[in-house]
Chain A
Amino acid sequence: MLLIHCPYCDEDRPELEFRNAGEAHIARPENIAEISDEEFAQFFFIRTNPKGLIYERWRHIHGCARFFNAVRDSVSDKFLMTYKAGEKRPTVKAGEKA
């Protein structure tokens, strides 16, 4: 079983307690009613989908229920680090464990 470190529980917990919540660090436009359809589509649908390092939101839904962010390698599926929601996007190199 894959273990994921929850930054709020401060513990490695079984993956069954977690749920993926899409790409992280996507800010909702503050003027959402004014932007064009193209801009809205860009914000709402378009994701980077990288091969390699990906910044994701996860939720410890069957634990503390908190959303947090994770850096994961989409090739190896390895989690490199997790951090609390609202914290700055950390710089991590592929293959490096922060």
Chain B
Amino acid sequence: MADASRIHPLAGRKVANPAVTLTPAEPAARLSLRARPDAVAALSKALGVKLPEMPKRSATSKSGGRAALWLGPDEWLVIDTAGGDPLADCAKVKALHSAVDISHRNTAILVEGKGAEATLSAGCPQDLSLTVFPVGACSRTILGKIEVVIWRTGETAFRVECWRSFSAYAFDFLEEAARDAPIAA
């Protein structure tokens, strides 16, 4: 019998130096969610996360297992790392919206440590300093030559969401940048 298993695109990759660690994130359920303002309350209730309506803001569920990241005025990235099914939750909402499962389109890299900000700044043109990009801030932006979503989960911790097929590039880029992080941090 054939043994089929899904292979993580970054399986086996890991970087750790005194300033920064790069870790492939565990698989997660993800939604690309689009909705007009009149559907936001119902979707927030169904998801258990209040969809943020301000630029660059994120919100997490009480348990912390689910987050909604503002990407645009009517667009959110929902990430569930607790084994939930956000698509099924949205399906219960009658108000007009679009929810597309992108769990396997994206993967993520966790960038952590006192050199995390410097590592990302090697390829991201945005100001990622704590005053402009505080804990909880998130944004779709650029890393090197690819589009990513960066979410600051702690003062020295970021989650970098990228397309699965671009993840090898993203990891290579961050690995290279991480080499300089001990000097910059």
Contact = CB atoms under 8 A, between A and B. Distances in A.
Interface of A: 1, 8-11, 13-14, 16-17, 62-66
Contacts of A10: 55
Contacts of B71: 64-65
A62 B142 contact: yes
Nearest to A10: B55
Contact of B125 (A8, A11, A16, A66): A16
B125 A9 contact: no
Given A8-B55, A16-B125, A63 B73 contact: no
Given A1-B125, A8-B72, A17 B55 contact: no
What bracket does the count of chain B residues touching chain A fall in?
A: 10 to 19
Most buried by B among A10, A16, A64, A65: A64
Contact of B141 (A1, A17, A66): A17
Q: Is the interface of B mostly helix, strand, loop or mixed?
A: strand
Interface in B129-143: 139-142
B74 to A, nearest CB: 9
A14 B125 contact: yes
B141 A63 contact: yes
A64 B147 CA distance: 12
B142 A64 contact: no
A16 B72 CA distance: 17
B98 interface: no
A11 B72 CA distance: 13
A51 B142 CA distance: 32
B17 interface: no
B55 A62 contact: no
Nearest to A64: B72
Contacts of A66: 72-73
Contacts of A9: 55-56
Nearest to A15: B125
A62 B73 contact: no
A64 B75 CA distance: 8
B165 interface: no
B73 A64 contact: yes
A4 to B, nearest CB: 11
A13 to B, nearest CB: 7
B61 interface: no
15 contacts: A8-B55, A9-B56, A10-B55, A11-B55, A14-B126, A16-B125, A16-B142, A17-B126, A17-B142, A63-B140, A64-B71, A64-B72, A64-B75, A65-B72, A66-B72
B182 to A, nearest CB: 26
Nearest to A13: B126
